[in-house]
């Protein structure tokens, strides 16, 4: 399958350079399109030197879905691969594994995760259907490092009005049409926000969940639910004590709590 890799970037010269070096080690052919939203560092120069096609948009025009749509419109591949500038493939076989996920005609999109929807470690590919997506709305396809069929994107691009979670919304639409999302630990990339500033972690989680309420019927989520998740959802941590004492983890949980409640209130009118 022909592959087009679409990278969204702004002032990420160092991370982009590293990511493009990893892409250069891949064993299957591909093209790279970098959608830049107003970089002032060497991001554009690095992209052009690497042979990427660069598309520029103004910073004030940026939305996650909109920037990706711009890149997709320039792509020629059958499979479109969304990759954040700060997300790096693990090895030279990553794109080949991405392509293989689409051997199954039911697969609309594919991305990696080391944990399943019930926070148990995955050791093989899991196909997410609409029932699973409704049960665990936070889990599934991610545009941070994921791929999708160009033909489906042409029929329905990503929404540009959502402040986040455009990936989950797009995937849910196609799951409702009978497709599935392949979630495979073999597709995991290096992509870590756990060391971001606390305020950024809180804002991202709130934004994602508030957007999710636009297209999911989210169940009630109160202080008891927040306490349960703080105590029991220990994914990405090897120590329960460290997890429960982590201020960044707490910021993520509080952001999700605030976003869910704000989104449900807005949807209710």
Pairing of strands 31-36, 53-56: parallel
Within 10 angstroms of residue 266's Cβ, the number of other Cβ atoms is 11
Query: For residue 91, is pLDDT > 90?
Result: yes
Query: Using 50, 70 and 90 to split pLDDT, how confident is the model at 265?
Result: confident
The predicted structure's pLDDT at residue 101: 97
Which tens digit of pLDDT belongs to each residue from 146-174? Answer: 999 999 999 999 999 999 999 999 999 99
The predicted structure's pLDDT at residue 98: 98
Cβ-Cβ contacts under 8 Å for 176 (sequence gap 6 or more) = 130
Residue of 74, 188, 166 whose CA lies nearest to 121: 188
Q: What is the pTM of this model?
A: 0.94
Q: What does the mean pLDDT of the chain come to?
A: 94
Which tens digit of pLDDT belongs to each residue from 211-252? Answer: 999 999 988 899 999 999 999 988 888 899 999 999 999 999
Q: What is the mean pLDDT of residues 73-85?
A: 97
Q: What is the mean pLDDT of residues 100-106?
A: 97
The predicted structure's pLDDT at residue 33: 98
The predicted structure's pLDDT at residue 237: 86
CA–chain centroid gap for 16, Å, is 17
| Percent residues over pLDDT 90 in the chain | 89
Query: Using 50, 70 and 90 to split pLDDT, how confident is the model at 196?
Result: confident
Q: What is the mean pLDDT of residues 168-189?
A: 98
Query: Using 50, 70 and 90 to split pLDDT, how confident is the model at 137?
Result: very high
Query: For residue 268, is pLDDT > 90?
Result: no
Query: For residue 264, is pLDDT > 80?
Result: yes
Q: What is the mean pLDDT of residues 84-108?
A: 96
Query: Using 50, 70 and 90 to split pLDDT, how confident is the model at 192?
Result: confident
The angle at the Cα of 90, spanning 164 to 43, to the nearest 5 degrees, equals 60
| Percent residues over pLDDT 70 in the chain | 100
146 three-state secondary structure: strand
Alpha helix locations (H) across the chain? 13-23, 43-49, 64-74, 94-100, 130-135, 150-155, 166-175, 198-212, 223-232, 240-245, 247-268
Pairing of strands 31-36, 79-84: unpaired
Residue of 93, 81, 13, 73 whose CA lies nearest to 49: 13
Domains and CATH numbers, the chain: 3-187 (3.90.550.10), 198-268 (no CATH)
């Amino acid at each position: 399958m022909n592959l087009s890799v679409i990278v969204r970037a702004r002032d990420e010269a160092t991370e982009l350079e590293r990511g493009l070096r990893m892409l250069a080690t891949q064993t299957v052919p591909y093209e790279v399109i970098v959608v830049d939203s107003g970089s002032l560092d060497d991001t554009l120069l690095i992209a052009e030197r690497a042979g990427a096609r660069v598309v520029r948009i103004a910073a004030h025009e940026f939305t996650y879905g909109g920037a990706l749509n711009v890149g997709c419109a320039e792509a020629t591949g059958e499979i479109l691969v969304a990759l954040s500038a700060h997300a790096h493939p693990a090895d030279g076989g990553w794109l080949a594994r991405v392509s293989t996920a689409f051997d199954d005609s039911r697969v609309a999109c594919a991305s990696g995760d080391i944990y399943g929807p019930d926070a148990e470690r995955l050791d093989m590919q899991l196909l997410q259907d609409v029932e699973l997506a409704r049960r665990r709305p936070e889990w599934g396809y991610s545009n941070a490092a994921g791929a999708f069929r160009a033909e489906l994107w042409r029929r329905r691009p990503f929404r540009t009005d959502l402040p986040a979670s455009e990936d989950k919304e797009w995937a849910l639409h196609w799951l409702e049409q009978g497709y599935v999302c392949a979630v495979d630990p073999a597709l995991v990339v290096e992509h870590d926000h756990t060391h971001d500033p606390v305020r950024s972690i809180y804002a991202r989680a709130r934004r994602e969940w508030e957007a999710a309420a636009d297209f999911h019927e989210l169940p009630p989520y109160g202080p008891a639910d927040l306490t349960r998740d703080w105590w029991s959802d220990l994914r990405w941590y090897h120590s329960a004590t460290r997890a429960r004492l982590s201020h960044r983890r707490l910021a993520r949980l509080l952001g999700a709590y605030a976003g869910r409640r704000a989104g449900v209130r807005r949807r209710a009118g």
